[in-house]
Amino acid sequence: MAFAYSDRGYALTESSEGVRLTAYQDSVGVWTIGYGHTLGVKAGDVCTAAQADHWLHEDIAAVVACVNSLVTSRINQNQFDALVDFAFNLGCGALSRSTLLRHVNAERFVAARLEFSKWIYAGGEVLAGLVKRRAAEAALFAA
C-alpha cells in the first residue's frame, strides 16, 4: 500500500526545519534555503515563502516515493509520516542502510521506535534540535 504524506507529517517537517528565505549553511556546512531545500543552493540565494512551500512539496514527494519503496511491512500513517520526516532530514540513503528500517520491515516496531534517538548527531556532536526532532518522530511513530 502506497502512502501520501499527511498534514500532520507536513506540520512536523515544517516545525522541525523552520523556514529561512535566505540561504544559510546548515550544521554540517550544506547550503540550505526554505524548509531544508539544498538542491542547487548557494551563498546569497533568496526565495519567497511561496517558493519555499513549492520546494518543500517537491522535496517531500521524492522522499515519499523513497519511503514507499523501502518499507515492505504493513505500517500505519503515523509510522509512515515519522519515517518520511526522518528521511527528509537525513536522506533516503541513511534510512535505507539503517537498523531503523530493518526493524520496521521485520515488524519490530518497539525496537524501531527506539532507533530514532540514535540519530541526534551532526558533525560528530549532539544537536538539541535533532534530539527534539527525533523525539517528535518517535512519538508520532508510536501514536
Q: Residue 23: count other Cβ atoms within 10 Å of its Cβ.
A: 18
For residues 36-50, b (16+ Cβ closer than 10 Å) or e, as one string? bbeeebeeebebeee
Do 136 and 12 meet the contact criterion of CB atoms below 8 Å apart?
yes
Distance between CA atoms of residues 38 and 19, nearest Å: 13
Look up residue 15 and give its three cell numbers.
516545525
Half-sphere exposure in the Cβ direction for 129 (13 Å, CA): 10
Known catalytic residue at 137: no
**Residues 53, 4, 99, 131, CA torsion sign:** positive
Q: Return the bridge partners of 68, or none.
A: none
How many residues are present in the chain? 143
**Catalytic residue among 17, 58, 107, 137, which?**
17
Q: Which residues are catalytic?
A: 17
